[in-house]
Amino acid sequence: MTFSSTALLEVVRTSLLPPQAVSKTREHMLAALDWIHTAQQVTSDGGISKGYDVLRARWGPSYPETTGYTIPTLVNVASLLHEARWHD
């Protein structure tokens, strides 16, 4: 079995370093919503980017399925978190 350097670094990091504080679920959900919002803001057509390319440091174009799947998620999370701004 071989490990990638990324996997090996993660094993070392989680084994040797002290545990990091974990944010609350609400904070994680709001951070995810902010990421989705950014993915929508970077496109020229109002859709949601299909993803971020870390190696090239750029967002991909909007993708209809990404936008279509995300809208119900935003509406559901807005109701769950009582965050009306995500209904828009």
Residue with tokens 């709001």: 30
Q: Going residue by residue through the chain (88 aa), what tens digit of pLDDT does each one get?
A: 455 677 777 777 777 767 667 668 888 888 888 999 899 999 999 899 988 998 889 999 998 887 788 888 888 888 888 887 776 6
Give pLDDT, residue 10: 76
Global pTM reads 0.65
Candidates 38, 74, 27; CA nearest to 51 is 38
Tokens at 15, concatenated: 């084994």
The structural domains of the chain, with segments of one domain joined by +, span 19-87
Q: Sign (positive/negative) of CA torsion 9, 39, 63, 80?
A: positive
Query: If residue 8 lies in a helix (H) or strand (E), which one and from where to where?
Result: helix 5-16
Give pLDDT, residue 88: 63
CB atoms within 10 A of CB 48: 26
